[in-house]
Amino acid sequence: MNFFERQHAARGTTVRLVLLFTAAVLAIIILVDVVVLILARPPDAASVIPLLIGVSVVTISIIAGGTLFKMLALRAGGSAVALSVGAVPIDPTTSDPALRRFVNIVEEMSLASGVPVPRLFVLEKEPGINAFAAGYTPADAAITVTAGALQQLNRDELQGVIGHEFSHVLNGDMRLNVRLIGLLNGILLLGLIGIRVLYFGGGRGGDRKGGGAPIIVIAIAFTILGFAGRFFANLIKAAVSRQREWLADASAVQFTRQTTGLEGALKKIAGVPTGSALTDARGAQEVSHMLFGEGGKSFSQLFATHPPLYERIKALDPAFRPEEIEQLQAQWQAAPPNGQAEDVSLGLAGRAQIPPPQAPPTPAATVRTTAAELSARVGTLTPEDLERGAALSAQIPPELRQLASQGSTVIPLVLAMVLDSAPAGRAAQLEIVADRMGSPAAAAAAGLADLFAVLPPQLRLPVVSIAAPLIAAHPKGTLDVLVPTLEDLARADGSISVFEYCLTRLIAGYIRDAKDPAARSRPGRTDVRRVDSAAFTLLAAVAATGNDDPAAAQRAFGAAVAALLPGAAVPYQPPMDTWRVLDGVWAPLDGVDPGSKQRLIEALVIAIRDDGDLTLNEAELLRTTCALLHCPLPAFVA
């Protein structure tokens, strides 16, 4: 199953979630009505219908209100979920060895997979081994780990866990999981309201003349139904999440091409006294379906949000036997494992620190690929990609990494990336910056410009990927000015390069996604035929950019159109102002369905260069296009 098939399957899972939620709400309404009838004992049949209608309206209002309130609270995305359970943000410039190792692993996977580096959090008081990814899109993704995971897992095991979480990022599971929190909150709210009303309205006296009786009746009904709500909530979470956990385990193995890391993490959960339980996190029950391992004990496997631990281990190690769990428990009962000490013994300790700078290799002039091969790489990660991500991370100069990891320096950093090397051109650009964003910003950007004069071109977008979360954290006023300023800087010399366009569009798209992730995460449903003019415009612009020979560009365009919509006869008309024209195609094309996106991306490969050879510039344009269509593509030219 490729990325596009997984996106289609995720839509089916969402439909199933809505149906289960609707059925649960109907069942709860019926149960509430029955309980109220039993407790209230209406005096005559005529009063039954108004009573049931009133109780049903109140029940629906509470569920709808609780759901809406929670969804609005989590609308900010992954960071809101992490903070809601008491997680603490991690400074990406940290020198703490355990945190540094975590930051490095996530950064390498991000650079390899083509998604911005997620925001990172830690549950400092949780000794169990666990983690979760939250958010609506990769732009607002947050990955949280427990202190127990950082302390007890070695680097390979932590990488296996993070690979599992990255699968949720790439497969679109995060959006489903966050929405599940919102939907179930309304159901669980019934019980809480019942207990509060019972305590404050009836349990402390109420109306001594009997006026408080209806309140007590409703409170008791809601309290009873609160338990029913938890029953349905757990049932829905189990039905939605278990299969996706199997898929995430399989993806983690695919990403790293070794089972020992993930297998070792699961065995440690089985063997250490704390397991994967969350004991201190606020609202741990709300995120139980998002966790790497069970956050607590389930009284029945029917309600478990994860497959049985033994079955997960056995899927990775068929020779594993149940009695081995007892051996592991005895081994770690007295002295829990020490992941950093294991790194030393395994020779992995050096990879926990900020990687030393390496001389970047001379990139290949071209990379050969086919349309089918490239579309199969969207939204996935191979061990080769992971090695490339680690290599890219190691090649970024420490000074640049530090600047890209600090909120105070990321804005001047991206401004400096588009400054001209010629003094006269740079002076004109700095005047634009000073006019738009102030003299301090202009001076800071000028001081950083020379760093990019010697930076190998294949490292520019990786630096942007590291900087992206910190860019989006700036105030709205700053972000509203940043993208127009970058566009003016790029056009200051009368033209715009492929890299300049890629940089400005990536940052603009990232800011839009991070500003309203819930709205930007909705999967497309439109057939590409309904927006074919935008598709043909994109193909014509890309064909003109990727082929210097007009005849070759026309051939590439024709082949691309035939791949996208067989039988369509469209004249080749390259746009006069390619980049301005392209700005109008992203919104309609991002709204097409997954199958249409797959055909569109395959057509783009053909349009960029009909001989199948991609240069670095062409590969960056293709990766930017895929990012704007929310189809992350690994960095395949390094």
Catalytic residues: 165
Return the half-sphere exposure (C-beta side, CA atoms, 13 A cut-off) of residue 44.
2
DSSP state of 384: H
3-state secondary structure at position 356 = coil
Phi, psi of 574 (to 5 degrees): -65, 135
Return the half-sphere exposure (C-beta side, CA atoms, 13 A cut-off) of residue 420.
21
State the Cα–Cα distance between residues 371 and 374, nearest whole angstrom: 5
CB 602 within 8 A of CB 375: yes
State the Cα–Cα distance between residues 633 and 626, nearest whole angstrom: 6
State the Cα–Cα distance between residues 542 and 536, nearest whole angstrom: 10
In 207-283, which ranges are E strands?
none
State the Cα–Cα distance between residues 537 and 584, nearest whole angstrom: 9
Angle (CA) 401 407 408, round 5°: 100
Name the helix (H) or strand (E) containing 548: none
SS (H, E, C) 18-30: HHHHHHHHHHHHH
Tally of CB atoms within 10 A around 201: 17
- Residue 283, sorted as left (phi over 0), alpha (psi -120 to 50) or beta, turns out to be left
- Structure token digits, residue 167: 């699968």
Phi, psi of 533 (to 5 degrees): -65, -40
State the Cα–Cα distance between residues 152 and 98, nearest whole angstrom: 10
What are the CA-CA distances from residue 587 to residues 49, 226, 526, 625 (Å)? Answer: 49, 43, 12, 12
- Structure token digits, residue 594: 């997954």
Tally of CB atoms within 10 A around 435: 12
- Structure token digits, residue 169: 């990022």
- Structure token digits, residue 288: 């139980």
Tally of CB atoms within 10 A around 343: 22
State the Cα–Cα distance between residues 614 and 361, nearest whole angstrom: 18
CB 580 within 8 A of CB 614: no
Name the helix (H) or strand (E) containing 144: strand 142-146
State the Cα–Cα distance between residues 232 and 473, nearest whole angstrom: 37
State the Cα–Cα distance between residues 563 and 557, nearest whole angstrom: 10
State the Cα–Cα distance between residues 36 and 602, nearest whole angstrom: 60
Name the helix (H) or strand (E) containing 368: strand 367-368
State the Cα–Cα distance between residues 410 and 419, nearest whole angstrom: 15
State the Cα–Cα distance between residues 520 and 152, nearest whole angstrom: 37
